Amino acid sequence: MKDFGGKLAVITGGGTGMGRALARQLIAEGCDVATCDVLDDNLAETRALCEQEASQGRVITTHHCDVSDESEVERFRDAVVAAHDTDHIDLLFNNAGVGGGASVVNGDREDWERTFNICWYGVYYNTRAFMPLLVASQEAHLINTSSVNGFWATLGPQSSHTAYSAAKFAVKGFSEALITDLANNAPHVKVSVVMPGHIGTSIAINSGRILGGRQGEELSDEDVAGMRKRWASMGMANEETTDEQIRNLVGEMGRRFRDDAPTTAEQAATIILDGVREERWRILIGKDAHRLDALVREDPESAYTPEFMVRLRETGEWGLG
DSSP per residue over 20-54, as a string?
HHHHHHHHHTT-EEEEEES-HHHHHHHHHHHHHHP
Q: What is the CATH number for 69?
A: 3.40.50.720
Q: 190: left (phi > 0), else alpha (psi -120 to 50), else beta? A: beta
What's the number of domains the chain is made of? 2
Q: Which residues share a beta bridge with 35?
A: 11, 62
Query: Could you say which DSSP state residue 55 is in?
Result: P
Q: Tell me: the pLDDT tens digits for 270-306?
A: 999 999 999 999 999 999 999 999 999 999 999 999 9
Looking at residue 244, its pLDDT comes to: 78
Residue 3 covered by a domain: no
Q: Are residues 236 and 125 in the same domain?
A: no
- Return the pLDDT at 107: 82
Q: Are residues 168 and 193 in the same domain?
A: yes
pLDDT at 321: 35
Task: Say if residue 255 is in the same domain as residue 267.
Answer: no
Q: What is the pLDDT of residue 216?
A: 41
Task: Tell me: do 20 and 74 sit in the same domain.
Answer: yes
**Within this chain, do residues 76 and 138 fall inside the same structural domain, yes or no?**
yes
Please choose, from the candidates 118, 162, 83, the residue with its C-alpha nearest in 3D space to the C-alpha of residue 12: 118
Same domain? 47 vs 116? yes
Same domain, 162 and 281: yes
**Does residue 209 belong to any structural domain of this protein?**
no
**pLDDT score recorded for residue 229:** 66
**60 and 177 both lie in a single domain:** yes
Residue (of 99, 131, 116, 187) closest to 10 by Cα position: 131
Instruction: Report how many helices (DSSP H) and strands (DSSP E) the chain contains, helices first.
Output: 12, 9
Would residue 210 count as lying in a domain? no
pLDDT 10s digits, 110-159 = 889 999 999 999 999 999 999 999 999 999 999 999 999 999 999 888 77
Residues 66 and 178 in one domain: yes
What is the per-residue pLDDT across 202-253, written as a single tens digit (0 to 9) for each?
A: 544 444 444 554 434 455 676 667 666 655 654 566 777 888 777 666 655 5
Same domain, 306 and 230: no
Residue 23 sits in the same domain as residue 115: yes
Asked if 47 and 60 touch (Cβ cutoff 8 Å), the reply is yes
pLDDT digits 0-9 by tens, 27-75: 999 999 999 999 899 999 999 999 999 988 899 999 999 999 999 999 9
List pLDDT tens digits, range 160-190: 889 999 999 999 999 999 999 999 999 999 9
End-to-end CA, the chain: 34
Three-state SS at 247: helix
206 sits in which H/E element: helix 203-212
Q: Tell me what pLDDT residue 210 has.
A: 46
* Residue ranges making up the domain that contains 223: 216-260
Report if residue 19 sits inside a domain: yes
In a domain, 2, yes or no: no
Do 113 and 188 belong to one domain?
yes
